[in-house]
């Protein structure tokens, strides 16, 4: 059994022609991600996995951090998304709580200019409009213990 699983809503936007975003596909991607988290917690229950909620700007380095550090927290399920506010993170925390899993926040705190530069280097179908990155930056609320996390780790991205 895998000791590490990664859930990213963007994976549900992939098509043979590349990533396709519409409001309807986005809504389906999120509901599919929540269902995948629930299923992973059920399948891994004997391992008592942690849920790593990795948040930050698009282009901050969330996926990179998970690829290099998730093994330090295994068994775990990494949820990889911008998740700018407590209201965005709360459904994930609630699923973890319902399945008696510890929820940790990993905040990849990267300057806006760096995130935009990294985003510009992505393949065209994986790029996020700069306005979206700026919007997440304006909406971003640093995660805190009071949301229901056992720990909040702030990682300086550069």
Does residue 157 carry a pLDDT above 90?
no
Percentage of residues in the chain having pLDDT higher than 70: 99
**Domains in the chain with CATH codes:** 4-156 (3.40.50.300)
Does residue 104 carry a pLDDT above 70?
yes
Sequence-distant (≥ 6) Cβ neighbours of residue 87 within 8 angstroms: none
pLDDT in tens, 30-74: 999 999 999 999 999 999 999 999 999 999 999 999 999 999 999
Q: pTM for the whole thing? A: 0.94
Does residue 158 carry a pLDDT above 80?
no
Residue 94's pLDDT is: 98
Q: What is the mean pLDDT of residues 127-152?
A: 95
Residue 41's pLDDT is: 98
Residue 1's pLDDT is: 60
């Amino acid at each position: 059994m895998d000791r590490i699983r990664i859930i990213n809503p963007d994976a549900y936007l992939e098509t043979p022609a590349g990533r396709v975003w519409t409001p309807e596909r986005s809504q389906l991607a999120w509901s599919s991600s929540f269902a995948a988290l629930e299923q992973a917690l059920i399948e891994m229950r004997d391992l008592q996995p942690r849920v790593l909620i990795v948040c930050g700007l698009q282009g901050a380095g969330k996926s990179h951090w998970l690829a290099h550090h998730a093994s330090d927290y295994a068994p775990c399920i990494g949820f990889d998304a911008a998740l700018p506010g407590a209201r965005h993170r709360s459904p994930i925390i609630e699923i973890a709580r319902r399945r008696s899993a510890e929820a940790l926040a990993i905040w990849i705190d990267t300057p806006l200019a760096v995130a935009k530069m990294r985003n510009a280097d992505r393949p065209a179908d994986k790029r996020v409009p700069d306005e979206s990155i700026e919007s997440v930056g304006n909406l971003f609320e640093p995660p805190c213990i009071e949301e229901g996390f056992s720990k909040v780790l702030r990682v300086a991205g550069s």
